[in-house]
Structure 1
Amino acid sequence: MLMGSLEEQLRPQLLSGLAYERLLAEIISGRLEPGQRLRLDLLAHSWAVSRTPVREALQRLADMRLVHVSPNAGTRVAAWSNADMIERARIVGALLEGVALAAPTADRGTDREADGAAGDALLPDSSCELMVYLDLAERLISRDLRRLGAHLVRDHIDPLRLFVDRETAHRHGVNLEPGRRQRRELLTAALAALDRRDAVTAGETLAAFSARFVSALAPAPASASAPA
């Protein structure tokens, strides 16, 4: 039997991924609020796709506890809060610290190119340190944990990337500006340590960064003002 074209084989998977990314962004941004009904037929019709990719996307989000499926109430956006993002940040931080500490050190003579040094580029002045940190986490966790790493990226890092967008964070009462300089200094030190294969320093500085990241995700007091 002749197999269909590669495009035909990949299309359902691509559509499912696109539906997942769109729904995830809508949920994390708050445009889809907790408790809001998600109607499979309406979503599929509005995006001009079949029900299958939307159903698969909803199942992925249900696995992440961002969507709740009930036989009686139907499919709805699950109740979630900043505490859920803080928990994700804690998990990512612990995994990244462990991966960094387990990385080959310089005195073992490991080939840099084969291992893929993580700190090749220092932190650009215009970059968001939280995004650079999450990109680093994705790179190292995916590399060292392989298939499990891909699930961890989807379930923990992808939502955090969306949440730390300045506008989205502000909508959830989070001010990411305080402590930014200290976070940049810690991440710069961690990247430099990874580049020279100093696993101990990399682990320590990443742990310190993670602690500040977690603190930054807590809702800011109503009267708090962001320093320059």
Structure 2
Amino acid sequence: MSNTIAHLAVAKELWTKKPDLVQNKRAYYLGILAPDTITAKPDAVREDKKRVHLRENIRDAEWLEPDQMAIFTDRVREFIQKYISNESDLAQRDFNIGYLVHLLTDKCNHGTIRQKLLKKANERGLVSSDREFYHMCVNDLEALDAYLLERYPEIDELFAELRSEAADFGLPGWIEKDYINGSMWWWTNKYLPGIKEREILYINTEDIEEFIAFAVKEIMEELEVLLK
């Protein structure tokens, strides 16, 4: 999965290339952030995160398998039918489109950045289920977020703007406004100070730049099919 700033970078570039995707940019960007704020849910467990990412009973190591990807795609189509095609509130629809883009970005990340990190782990005798591989991912994904903030000041400004006032959108039954607002505090006081201490160890900045370009292209093509 991508980290917070990488999600915003993909979302911003996607909107730049496809400005008719949404009308309410704040709603869209809050939707981009929303799925990962499930961790602010009281007593949240891993199954909660799997559910809001449409990946219940889909293991990380098997997500790219055709049968597992077919299950995920069916869930995406159901999400679109219920929360985008049938949503009459246009601002809420834009939030829900952002939510969808987050899920598609994670899929792109899983097939690119995560695979590069896994290759590095395999070279060290590790497999995807090893705890050390998890720490490798956390380190480099956070370090790459720090790089993106420094490389693209406009993303830093966008994130600051989103955190400047309380969230006015959510997706009942999935992500409550309180989860987003709770995460705003965590991002400001914990995440952003912490990632400044990270150093990229296993992949490089070219990988994240290539990923953003790839993800935007893939998602644009998918949305042409999914939202028609």
TM-score between both structures, scaled by the size of structure 2: 0.27
Q: Which has the higher helix share?
A: 2
Larger Rg, first or second structure (1 or 2): 1
TM-score between both structures, scaled by the size of structure 1: 0.27
